[in-house]
Amino acid sequence: MRSPAVARGLAVRWLEAAECARTADAVLVVSELVTNAVRHTRGPCLLTLAEDGGSLDIAVSDHSEELPDVHRPFDGDQRGGFGLEIMRRLGDSVRVVPRIGGKTIHVALRVDTPAHDRGRPP
């Protein structure tokens, strides 16, 4: 996959078919993950969505072995990092899994609890 727009469309269809809550948040995370993969790697990426027990795992695998610092605090004055900040704020966890020839970034979203019930703005 090389297009964030295509990824968003596929995600919307999958999320609606799965009757997942938080579709807007999930689609934004998909968009940021795929945009970052397309912008910073040398090839296509693979989008995977999986829901299990009230948690949605959004994963994008790419061909870059460069690992982002997902724990780096966001500084509004710096260039870049805004997508990671969005993923950290919307997701319950963000993790990077290195692999030979690339990496996979996973963002987990609780889909059984509304955002305002988790102490976050609705």
The tens digit of pLDDT for each residue in 39-67 reads 888 789 999 999 988 899 999 999 998 88
Nearest in space to 49 (alpha carbons), one of 27, 32, 64: 27
The tens digit of pLDDT for each residue in 74-89 reads 565 555 556 788 888 8
CATH value of 4-118 in 3.30.565.10, 3.40.50.300, 1.20.140.10, 3.40.50.1980: 3.30.565.10
Tokens of 57: 């795992």
Task: Give the C-alpha separation, 115 to 20, whole Å.
Answer: 13
Tokens of 48: 């995977």
Ordered by start, the domain boundaries in the chain are 4-118
The tens digit of pLDDT for each residue in 4-44 reads 999 999 999 999 998 888 999 999 999 999 998 998 887 89
Residue 68's pLDDT is 80
Residue 121's pLDDT is 46
DSSP per-residue letters across 71-98: TSPP-TTSSS-HHHHHHHHH-SEEEEEE
Question: What is the Cβ-side half-sphere exposure of residue 100, based on CA atoms within 13 angstroms?
Answer: 0
For CA atoms 16, 20, 26, 30, the dihedral sign is: negative
For residue 7, give the amino acid letter: A
Query: Burial level of 94, CB count in 10 A (0-12/13-18/19+)?
Result: buried
